Amino acid sequence: MSKSTVHQIKIVDSHTGGEPTRIVIAGGPDLGSGPLAGRREKFQREFDRFRSAVVNEPRGSEVVVGALLVEPEDKSCVAGVIFFNNVGYLGMCGHGTIGLVVTLAHLGKIKPGDHKIETPVGIITATLHPNGEVSVANVPSWRAKKSVTVDVPGIGPVTGDVAWGGNWFFLIEQHGQELTLTNAEQLTDFCWRVRQAVNAQGFPEVDHVELFGLPALPGAHSRNFVQCPGKAYDRSPCGTGTSAKLACLAADGKLAEGAMWVQESIIGSTFAGKFRWLDRATGKVEPLITGTAFVNAEATHLLDERDPFCWGIR
Q: Catalytic amino acids?
A: 93, 238
Say whether residue 51 binds ligand PYC (CB under 6 A).
no
Using CB under 6 A as the binding rule, whether residue 118 contacts ligand PYC is answered as no
Which of positions 224-263 make contact with ligand PYC (CB under 6 A)? 228, 234, 236, 238-240
Cβ distance to ligand PYC smaller for residue 247 or 303:
247
Asked if 138 contacts 240 with a C-beta cutoff of 8 angstroms, the reply is yes
Which region among 31-39, 92-100, 116-124, 249-257 touches ligand PYC (by CB under 6 A)?
A: 92-100
Q: Is 283 in the site for ligand PYC (CB under 6 A)?
A: no
Residue 60 binding ligand PYC, by CB under 6 A: no
Residue type at position 144: A
CA atoms within 13 A on the CB side of 99: 34
Of the two residues 86 and 236, which places its CB atom closer to ligand PYC in the complex? 236
> What phi and psi values does residue 115 have, to the nearest 5 degrees?
-140, 125
Q: How many chain residues interact with ligand PYC (CB under 6 A)?
A: 13
DSSP codes, 143-172: EEEEEEEEEETTTEEEEEEEEESSSEEEEE
What secondary structure letter does DSSP report for 139? S
Say whether residue 94 binds ligand PYC (CB under 6 A): yes
Q: C-beta of 307: minimal distance to ligand PYC in Å?
A: 28
Buried b (16+ CB within 10 A) or exposed e, 224-236: bbbbbbeebbbbb
Distance of closest approach, residue 247 Cβ to ligand PYC, in angstroms: 14
SS3 at position 203: coil
Binding residues for ligand PYC, rule: CB under 6 A, are 19, 65, 90, 93-95, 167, 228, 234, 236, 238-240
